[in-house]
Structure 1
Amino acid sequence: MKKSINQSTLSFILNGISILALLFLVFSLLSYSQISGKLDLANENRFALTSNANRFMNGSAYLTNEVRAFASTGKQEHYDNYWNEVNTLKNRDKGVAAMQEIGITSEEQDMIDNMSDLSNKLVPLEDEAMKNVQAGNMQAALDYVYGEEYNASITQINALKEQFLADLDSRTKAEVETLGRESRFIRTTMITALIVVAFIQLLIMIITKRRVLRPVIAVRDQMSEISQGNLSAEFLLKSNTSEIGMLVESIHETKRELKKYIHDIDSKLSEMAEGNMDLVIGDDYRGEFLPIQNAMRQILDSLNSALSRINITAEQVLEESRRMASDAEILSSGAVAQASAVQELAASIHELSTQVDHTSSDADTAQKCSTEAASLLMASNEKMGDLTAAMEDISNASQEIGGIIKTIEDISFQTNILALNAAVEAARAGEAGKGFAVVAEEVQSLANKSSASAKDITELIENSIRMIKHGTSLTAETTSALGDVVIGAKQATDLIEQIADSAMQQSQSLHQLKAGMEQIAGVVQTNASTAEKSAASAKELQNQSEELKVSVHRFRLRRHR
């Protein structure tokens, strides 16, 4: 990581310099205030010294002028002014005292002393001059105050005055100039300090903007991008050892960690979406991402467990569906075969019913014929004269009855065959054919009875034919034989009626059997259709199970260790 001074340290240094500059500025301000006070005081003292020096000198000059005016004019007011200055005003003494109070040098004091001595030397001369004026000797007085000695003293005093004023002015001026230079220096340093403070503050602003505000704004923008989920946004700030640099490094580290987590989660979820469940969730997640890691691990474990169970179940369902499909196909085939057999049986029963209907019709015809025969036999008793014709009719009727007997035998034979077939089919039908077996037995019984009756009728007709053949020779016996014939005819009529009733009952039973077979055929058809649908459903279930198996096999699961 690049080395860089901390913002806090840099800010501390710059602010420290600024504070020091401000402290220096405050100190300079105080110094400037003191120097300004001293400069003002120096100017005041200079003015006061000059004023008091002039007061001192003016006092001496005032005494000289007044004594000379008194000597020249003799006016009393000049005399009074002179002594008023000496005794009352005392400007020379007050001026010297004021200068001493303000402060003067020893050289200046020596010069004042010299001027005082010279002035004191003039006092006797001025006394003499005033005494001469009072004595009326004006000339003598003028000689004192305008004499060579007095003028020489005045000249010396004026020279000392000029030198004193020059020295005093030079000294005070030097003090004022020195204080002025100090004041200007302090003012310059103050301005310099202000410039330094302003520069440092400007530098702080620039540094704060460049090293704090701009990075903070960039960090804010980057964090806004991160908060919106954009981890690929460009972030040009480089990390360093400063606080902002460390913050930048934290953001880079955060983006790296988030990208790592997102990449890891994306790769794991992509592999899971592609069916790879044989994954291992690492332990490199930190902080608030640990629950996500744990949740992914739990999801993966749950999916492996659930898909393993689904895989096992799919295999079991596939195996069961295969067996179910096989059984359904067998059942469907059996149902179709059963439906075909039932249809054939129904067709046979329909044909048998038709034949029984014919038998019933023939039995009715036979009954009619038998009734007619009985009538003829009864008429034969009354019309023996017509015996030949009657015998002819009986012969014809016997031939017809022989045909009918033949038909009855055929019907009986066919009925017996149908009864046998029905018994066979009933045996094939099992439990469902029990009722049909009973009907078959009844039909067979009726067939047997029909056969027996046919045999009986055959025997009777054969006897009648023999009797008709021997009718001529047996005419005498016709009456008695005819009675037997009537009785036989009566029995035949009864038997034929029984045959007709049995045929009628057989026909009704066959109709019921036909209706039952039709119902059975409908049920068998329904069963066959249901079996076919079941087979189709089982096949579809098998296909779905295979698809489920293929779908589950997409997932690569963990091996049980």
Structure 2
Amino acid sequence: MSLRLILLGALSPLLALVLYFSGQELLRLNRNAEALERVARIANEAEVFADLVHALQKERGYSAGFTSSRGKNFAADLAAQRQATDALLAKFFDAVPAAETAAPMTMATLREQTDAMPDLRAKIDRFTLSVPELAGTYTGLVDLLLAAGRQMRDFARSPATRALMEAREEIGLAKESAGLARAMGATGLGTDVFPQQVHRRFMELTARENASLARAALVLQRPALLDELRATPAAQALAPMVETISALPYGGARGTLTAPAWFAASTAWIDALREVETGLSTQTSALALATAQEARRALMITGALTLLVALATAGTGVLIAEFVTRRLGRLTSVMMDFVEGRFEAWVPYIDSRGEIGRMAQSIYRFKQLSRAAIEKRAEDEARLNARHQQVVDLVTEGLNALARADLTLRFDEPLAEEYDAIRNDFNTATARLREVMRAVSGTVGEIEERSRGLRGSAADLSERTTAQVETISSTAETVSGLTSTLAETNGALKDVKDLADEAKGRADRSGEVVRNAVAAMDRIAESSGRIAQITAVIEDISFQTNLLALNAGVEAARAGESGRGFAVVAMEVQGLASRSADAALEIKGLIEESAREVSGGVNLVGETGEALQAILEQILRVDEVLSNISAAAEAQNRELQGVNNAMTRLRDLTSQNIEVADASRDASTELAEGAQRLSALVSEFDLRAPQDAHPPQSRAA
């Protein structure tokens, strides 16, 4: 990071602090201006609320008078007021977007109740609602509007307009109380006798109205507000009427006071309060807009001052950073010249005071010390180069000898103390290399001789392994054929076992059929027994019938001529009884014969079942034998399969042995060739003792 950036970074916290506090002030002023503008918008929307409240209050009063007089009063006025109210409702919800934001639940409820107004008006026209009921419904609508107004005021609360908004709300409450009192007065005056309950409600509303007006004067700090309102013509006209209504329960006379006159005077008074409410809304809006404009102007001024301070701070920081960095830049340039060896450069600011001056003096001292050190280093390098040249000459001559494969060179003249280890290491290395090369030469001969013997052994092993592979392949094919034959035999045994299982199943089913036949024969024998019992009963009945017929004949004979017809019938009954007895005897004989035949059939079926059971046992033994044979065949098949797999694996291993033998033969051949090449390379070296070698060349001192 450059010094300029460091200096600017040191000044940046101060600049950031200035910008932070300035930004906070700007945000506060902006929020204040937005709040005041929102107050102005809400004040305008409050006028829309007040217009609708005023219209509903009028409609409530006309509806109360219309209902209490059973349609005699205010019919035309009520119709006109409903049209005016509908006109305001048609554009109400579109004109109050801020209320939708400030009081969404209240506005939703208000929308539902205004949608139900046609039903309310229809009930009023049919006189199905009493005055308190309709007044309560209209009052609920007005209370919703007033509640929405309070929520809007809370949503857009501002110290500058708080008093005006609270006073306007109190005037609205007083106007609502006056509207209810108007409805109560019209209701009471529309009847022959002012109801006590209505009068009590009227007095409560009048007192509430006066209290709301007093609170409005107190909030505005205008004690004369009540006197100003009482001095208006509407208040002067209404005051005697209020006194008259107040005195009615105490023996006061109504005089010429009528409901229309009271309604007109009350409406004039409410219109006067509406003018005061409108004036307060206008003042609120104007004050909010004026304050918002002042806040915007303060915002612009503060923003401009903040920008100027920030620019001045940034400019000052840049100038300071530039002043310092320019001087340090010149000193840095001089230092770079010294680093590159140019000591003729002049050091600036050496006579200056402060940190820059001390830095320049330090650089000048560095210049003097560096120049002396460079001169000393040149002398040391000259001496060192001479020693280095001796070492380079020695290494060069030694490498040339090694390049010529001459291992007889030896250096006896010592070098400088710190480099003499190189000469000793070279002499030791050449002696050791000479011994190693002699050993390698002897070993190469032995390797060459042994590789020839290894090559012959590998060739012999390859031939024997090839013969072994052929034998193993023949054996594997024989075992494979035997395995296939045994597998076919095993398959045939499985087919025979399946046939035996099928015969066993059929024998089981035949035994079941025989058992069912025996059971059927038993049931037939049982049925024959029951039929025999029935024929015995029939014989008994025939015998009893015959006796009865004889008795009837005897009685008919006693009766004489009058019993002749009965005697004929008795003879016929006796004949029928005789024929029934004969038939019963014949059936009994047939049943006994059938029983004997059934008994014989049962015996035959039983013998058949025993024969089938014996056959089933024989089949089971055959199935068991076949199962054992099949299991043994499968075991033999698995064992032969294992032998076959082992032979295949042995054949594969033998094939691999052939490859290994071939590879060994090739490797021994390559080893012999390599030994020959290595012997040729070793023969190039001069392995004589150093005293037999040529004397070394002279080296430069």
Q: Which of these two proteins has the greater Rg computed from alpha carbons?
A: 1
TM-score normalised by L of structure 1: 0.36
